[in-house]
Homo-oligomer: A and B are copies of this chain.
Amino acid sequence: MKKLKRSARLVEMTQYLLCRPHTLIPLTLFAERYASAKSSISEDLAIIKEAFEEEGLGELQTLAGAAGGVRYTPKISKAVSLAILNDIRQQLEQPERVLPGGYLYMSDMLGQPALVNEVGKMFATAFADKPLDVVMTVETKGIPLAYAAATLLNLPVVIVRRDNRVTEGSAVSINYVSGSTKRISTMSLGRRSLKEQSNVLIIDDFMRAGGTIQGMIDLLREFRATVQGVGVFVESAEVDEHLIEDYVSIAKLTGVDPKTKQTTVLPGSYFQLDLK
């Protein structure tokens, strides 16, 4: 195609890899794209690999052989994760977030794409090695987190609806008990939204008792799907018992006092994972 200097090639290959996470890219593609020898491409990749690892951007794996190539796996370091947690904590502990009933206002935080994308990186790090076909969430506030994780994991997203919209075609509906309100609600997923026997990562913004996530797990049973992981942004420790045992949380609320407007935020279970 076009002959480029190493410097220009490095810039282009960096952006190419960053835009295509969890994708095996044959070295011949780069060699043809930049009219360069495979040996030059290999040297470029070694430079990029070192810089990515130095910066804590993730791993660059090179697979040898005819079916080989290079694959970029985005990961975030423990140090950067802790810095982001610190920012999250400071925001969550602002007294003006405490609403009547001990609810916590979080919509503005979930409206910051930069923060959402960082949290998505944490989920992409935690679930990088799971065999996954799809990321699932329930409307509304978990949606940006699900897309942020799915972009980095190179997976499609399915959104469970709280109603049954006409534009979805035939759908499967189930009833579930929301842990916070104790009300029976309905959630539904279009038949054609999810292939049978998919491997699913569930992402949501908030978990109290876990009724909504248990509802998603029950719904997935109707599709004979396997839940490979559950990731929640903020969990509340203010419940006697969680319905869900195995999940990754980023932050944990241990005290929301409607009177004093004080909130205490601890690191979630993500920080107990074996991170670098």
Contact of A150 among B107, B113, B156 (CB under 8 A): B113
In the complex, are the beta carbons of B192 and A105 less than 8 A apart?
Answer: yes
Q: Is A125 positioned at the interface, with any CB of B under 8 Å from its CB?
A: no
Contact of A103 among B57, B139, B166, B190 (CB under 8 A): B166
Q: How far apart are the CA atoms of A168 and B101 in the complex, in Å?
A: 12
In the complex, are the beta carbons of A8 and B51 less than 8 A apart?
Answer: yes
Q: How far apart are the CA atoms of A154 and B115 in the complex, in Å?
A: 11
Q: Is A24 positioned at the interface, with any CB of B under 8 Å from its CB?
A: no
Q: Is A32 positioned at the interface, with any CB of B under 8 Å from its CB?
A: no
Question: Which residues does chain B contribute within 8 Å of A158, judged by CB atoms?
Answer: 107, 111
In the complex, are the beta carbons of B48 and A156 less than 8 A apart?
Answer: no
How many copies the complex holds: the figure is 2
Could you jot down 26 A-B contacts, CB within 8 Å?
Answer: A6-B7, A7-B10, A8-B47, A10-B10, A11-B11, A15-B55, A18-B18, A99-B166, A99-B169, A101-B166, A104-B167, A106-B167, A107-B158, A107-B159, A107-B190, A107-B193, A108-B192, A111-B156, A111-B159, A111-B193, A113-B147, A113-B154, A113-B156, A139-B139, A140-B140, A140-B143
Hey, which bits of chain A sit against chain B, CB under 8 A? 6-8, 10-12, 14-15, 18, 47-48, 50-52, 54-55, 57, 99, 101, 103-108, 111-114, 116-117, 139-141, 143-144, 147-148, 150-151, 154-159, 161, 166-169, 190, 192-193
